[in-house]
Amino acid sequence: MKEKVVAILDRIRPSLQADGGDVELVDVSDDGIVKVRLVGACAGCPMSTLTLKNGIERILKENVPEVQSVLAV
């Protein structure tokens, strides 16, 4: 599952980088919890929660059904 998550994050990354941010994968647990770290402009952005849940989490769940949730650490 981790390889699938990495591949999807690599597809998402250019959109985040275009706005001066990025996402780093921290961990993927066996129970489908993906932990990421938002960096750059995303780290302090008031919209980061929206980006995380409506962007990253939604796309990961659509492409990797095993993903249950995405958390920022």
- For 16-71, the pLDDT digits (tens) are 999 899 999 999 999 999 999 999 998 888 888 888 999 999 999 999 999 999 99
Q: Which domain holds residue 65?
A: 2-72
User: What is the per-residue pLDDT for 45?
Assistant: 85
pTM above 0.85, yes or no: yes
User: What is the per-residue pLDDT for 43?
Assistant: 86
User: What is the per-residue pLDDT for 65?
Assistant: 94
- Residue 57 is part of a domain; what is its CATH number? 3.30.300.130
The count of structural domains within the chain is 1
CB-CB contact of 57 with 72 (8 Å): no
Q: In whole angstroms, what is the distance from residue 49 CA to residue 44 CA?
A: 10
User: What is the per-residue pLDDT for 37?
Assistant: 95
